[in-house]
Amino acid sequence: MTAHTATAARARTGGPQDDGPALLEHLMGWTLVVVVAMLVVQLGLL
């Protein structure tokens, strides 16, 4: 078994090579940032 066939047999776990819904990922990321910011402010940690 060569290195190429060993890596090709592995399951993909995601990463920068995968083409996916980039817009949805960006929106979900910014939503998470806003929610965490609101939580920090509500708890008085800022």
Report the Cα–Cα distance between both ends of the chain, in Å, rounded: 55
The predicted structure's pLDDT at residue 13: 72
Cα 5 vs. chain centroid, distance in angstroms?
27
**What is the spatial distance between Cα 44 and Cα 27, in angstroms, rounded to a whole number?**
26
Structure-token match 């939580």, residue found: 39
pLDDT means per 10 residues, the chain with 46 residues, are: 62 66 90 96 89
At 35, list the tokens: 């929610």
- In this prediction the pTM is 0.54
The predicted structure's pLDDT at residue 39: 95
